Amino acid sequence: MILKDWLDKAAQELKNAHNIPKSDAYKEAHYVANVILGQIVTGDTVLSDIAQYCLNAALSKRAAHMPLAKIAGKKEFYNKMFITNKHTLDPRCETEMIIDLVKIKARTILDLGTGTGCLIICLVEKHLKSHGLAIDISPHALAVAKENAAIYGLLKRIE
């Protein structure tokens, strides 16, 4: 099967499942394909059996209204990519304003309910003399935040 055929089928399924215009459904299907295949793909890309299986599994999740970030396992926030999963909320673009609004005078920043750690990571990275303390009730969310902090080389500055 070539990607174009899969995209047409996927767009129709998403259109029906979400009651959205076909053009929006096609964009979603293409995004899912790019994320699952790990590259920018074109319509003439030939799909292996395993690629088709993975794409169909992701399509089923999206048709069941799973957020795209949960399917992808990552979400962009403040021009950085963060790991996200079922134990964390997805970083929201509206929250990015906090990074620009906060003026840090203290050396320690406290992030309660840290989730992915996106806020504390961006704040600590922006304010070079600061350190962070990330707290969450979920040990699973803290593990995600720690992994994200490691990606950005901030484990020594965020506890």
pLDDT at 100: 85
Residue type, 15: K
110-153 residue pLDDT tens:
999 999 999 999 999 998 889 999 999 999 999 999 999 999 99
Q: Is the pLDDT of residue 106 over 90?
A: no
pLDDT, mean of residues 75-95: 91
Pairing relation of β-strands 108-112 and 131-135?
parallel
β-sheet bridge partners, residue 131? 108
Give the mean pLDDT of the chain.
91
Query: pTM to 2 decimals?
Result: 0.81
Q: CA-to-CA distance for 111 and 69, rounded, in angstroms?
A: 22
